[in-house]
Amino acid sequence: MNNSNCSGNKESPKKAKDKKKKKKRGGSKKKMSVEQTLAFKSVSEWVFLDQPSLLASAFDFGLQKSLGRGQDKLVFELHTHSKFSDGFLSPSKLVERAYGNGVKVLALTDHDTMSGIAEALDASHRYGIKIIPGVEISTIFSPSGESEAEEPVHILAYYSSCGPTSFEELEKLLANIRDGRILRAKNMVSKLNKLKIPLKWEHVARIAGKGVAPGRLHIARALVEAGHVENLRQAFSRYLFDGGPAYATGSEPQVEKTVKLICDTGGVAVLAHPWALKNPVAIIRRLKEAGLHGMEVYRSDGKLAAYCDLADTYGLLKLGGSDYHGRGGHGESELGSVNLPVVAVHEFLKVARPIWCDSIKDILESYVKEPSDSNLARIIRFVRTPKGGDPFSCCKDIVERCLTLWLTSEERQNAEFDAIRLKLSHISLNQETPRSVPLESK
């Protein structure tokens, strides 16, 4: 929801119960069931698509070690923030830390921007981590009945190795939200000023950094730095909480419209931290109709049974991530600390892969139809060559890179991709075309 809710894991009776259950299971290593073994095999095949040498050893090692924690686990971290929104680490530092924590697949899901993805992809080559291009979109839920309250909702979107099919359309939505955030942050600063707190806009903008739309966390940090409050928690509990004396709303899009747009642009849409919602059932019901694929139910302190039940009721994927911001305070979940069961990851990929496969096809086909530099630049935003690696010499190289990173040989070997390859072999790359272009958000 807001920045505080994003990672504010409040202790609840439910959680305490879940913890107990977790303890009962203990840390003992159980043998994998047939279902888990098959899931592990399928997931590791996808994780190591472009590193076949690692696949066999990962699989053997994984089976031997069974379900123990550590290097043998296929750790998926599906919810993280960098400096490009309100995180504290650069995307490269985030990737480095993820590697140190044994993460194999990392989704960077900054608030309302995909500008950090290119840097994360470049860093990922150094560490052999797979990056899922993602974004966490700020939206608003408007109730249909009087009994429900309007409330902010965060939706995670996960894309393929080629990014969204219509990058411009998604980017327009995100840019609108970011512009609204600046206005909103300015409103909050002026509300603070009216409360006789002389916080300066320049201070907030400096903390957010160049090109970053300030959020509540940036204002809270400025309040701490200027000595108006003792810590971030106090900044939120006194002034910035939802409906608080210095709270202001932004111009977020309707949540259903956002979920539809994610589906239309080849993404997988997942409801973030539903436990922060006042009215989760009404929201989940409406979002399911709009095409929502899944919801977060796992946290670093275990899974939340009530939300698992809701996910089952509405036929949604059960996912989760640490929502890591790199604040460094205690109470923050560590990067890679959510223990996503391999079966849950397998279910996720089962839903995501056909969507991603189709979106890659769409993106490549639209390039074949119109092989312009701008269409190529759209692909190269997400398909990066490793530093020191050979630059792409022809379009076919780029296509092979998109495909081998994301699709199995069976998925790749079909008539449609063959037709794309054939057409692309007639298109030569302009020497002037940059090897890689920055993922600009403006």
Residues of this chain that interact with Zn ion (CB under 5 A) are: 6, 136, 154, 272, 323
State in angstroms the smallest separation of the CB of 136 from Zn ion.
5
State in angstroms the smallest separation of the CB of 111 from Zn ion.
7
State in angstroms the smallest separation of the CB of 277 from Zn ion.
11
Do 37 and 66 contact (CB within 8 A), yes or no?
A: no
Q: What's the gap between Cα 345 and its chain centre?
A: 14
Comparing every residue's Cβ against Zn ion, the nearest one is 154
**C-alpha neighbours within 13 Å on the C-beta side of residue 259:** 25
* CB closer to Zn ion out of 77 and 136: 136
Q: How far apart are CA 141 and CA 148, in angstroms?
A: 10
- The angle that helices 342-369 and 373-380 make with each other, rounded to 10 degrees, is 170
* CB closer to Zn ion out of 154 and 381: 154
* CB closer to Zn ion out of 6 and 310: 6
* CB closer to Zn ion out of 6 and 222: 6
Q: φ, ψ for residue 323 (rounded to 5)?
A: 55, 40
State in angstroms the smallest separation of the CB of 276 from Zn ion.
8
State in angstroms the smallest separation of the CB of 272 from Zn ion.
5
Q: How far apart are CA 175 and CA 250, in angstroms?
A: 13
Q: How far apart are CA 99 and CA 105, in angstroms?
A: 9
Q: How far apart are CA 121 and CA 117, in angstroms?
A: 6
* CB closer to Zn ion out of 43 and 310: 310
* CB closer to Zn ion out of 154 and 216: 154
* CB closer to Zn ion out of 108 and 403: 108
Q: Is the dihedral of CA 160, 381, 250, 232 positive or negative?
A: positive
Q: How far apart are CA 39 and CA 76, in angstroms?
A: 14
C-alpha distances (whole Å) from 244 to each of 108, 183, 249, 278, 399 are 30, 17, 11, 16, 50
State in angstroms the smallest separation of the CB of 324 from Zn ion.
8
Q: φ, ψ for residue 269 (rounded to 5)?
A: -100, 125
State in angstroms the smallest separation of the CB of 432 from Zn ion.
39
